[in-house]
Amino acid sequence: MRLISENKCFGGTQGVYAHTAKSTGTEMTFGLFLPEDAQHGPVPVLWFLSGLTCTHENAMTKAGAQQYCADHGIAIVFPDTSPRGDIVANDEAYDLGQGAGFYLNATQTPWAAHFKMWDYIADELPALLAAEFPIDPERQSITGHSMGGHGALTLAMTLKGRYRSVSAFSPIANPTQSDWGRKQFTAYLGADESTWAAHDASVLMSEHGFDGDVLIDQGTSDQFVDLLKPESLAQAMMARRQSGQFRMQSGYDHSYFFISTFIADHIDFHAEALHR
């Protein structure tokens, strides 16, 4: 692991690091904010998974999360959204290939060689953080935006007991029924649609739910709402009587202005679970 940058931030430290990842076979970059409390012992950690076209940097610099994490003594990690580099397969479209890993393990050529983002987020990066930083692996929560909201929800509902709480901003909620999903799942996982359900938050909510509280925020003026299909997830939560909230926020769009408006609510929500 190598240090790319380190800055003092709200009494803590915002760092950016790179390491060679076995899961992807590439160098991966991530951001990690450690609050001042980390100087005195391990702190809980919140994962922020970003959306299409993003790197580790977008949420790190635009979401405004650090000040609220500092208040609660919580670390927050900002992983990249895909493997990158000259050896990594790519596509001319913004929603496939580099910057569009969809937080799954690809099985199809040419993506299978490096697109192992499920393994990277679920196993490799958590192990690295626990080994190298004052992070408490027993206290983790997860959130994300758009494609990252999809990733946060699917990871949380699949890895039972891993995360104490899960939230999402404008998640891709029903990708098996959306062009933001069907296109990518066909490319990454193949034409057999039976393999897709494990990466659909609405399906997982209907079948398994989450063993904790859920918070979803969706803007009513989101320009991508037809692709996100929030109604499918809301209906699944209601049918399952899932503990949590699904909030429609009037007039908000898909941007980081939306995220930064409600990020304090989400961190307060996670802090309550992480400090329980």
pLDDT at 239: 97
- Residues designated catalytic: 146, 222, 254
pLDDT in tens, 11-41: 999 999 999 999 999 999 999 999 999 999 9
Q: How many domains does the chain fold into?
A: 1
pLDDT at 261: 98
pLDDT in tens, 97-120: 999 999 999 999 999 999 999 999
User: Are the C-beta atoms of residues 270 and 141 closer than 8 Å to each other?
Assistant: yes
Angle value at C-alpha 155, between 187 and 101, nearest 5 degrees: 30
pLDDT at 39: 97
Computed over every residue of the chain, the mean pLDDT equals: 98
Do strands 2-9 and 12-21 pair parallel, antiparallel, or not at all (unpaired)?
Answer: antiparallel
User: Are the C-beta atoms of residues 14 and 77 closer than 8 Å to each other?
Assistant: no
User: Are the C-beta atoms of residues 137 and 102 closer than 8 Å to each other?
Assistant: no
pLDDT in tens, 60-107: 999 999 999 999 999 999 999 999 999 999 999 999 999 999 999 999
pLDDT at 216: 98
pLDDT at 268: 98
pLDDT at 167: 98
pLDDT at 244: 97
pLDDT at 228: 98
Helix (H, G, I), strand (E, B) or coil at 22: coil
CATH of the domain at 62: 3.40.50.1820
- Give the Å distances, CA to CA, from 7 to 33, 48, 212: 9, 19, 34
CB atoms within 10 A of CB 121: 25
Counting residues of the chain whose pLDDT is more than 70, the rounded percentage is: 100
Domain with 201, as residue range(s), is 2-274
- 197 pLDDT tier (thresholds 50, 70, 90): very high
pLDDT at 241: 97
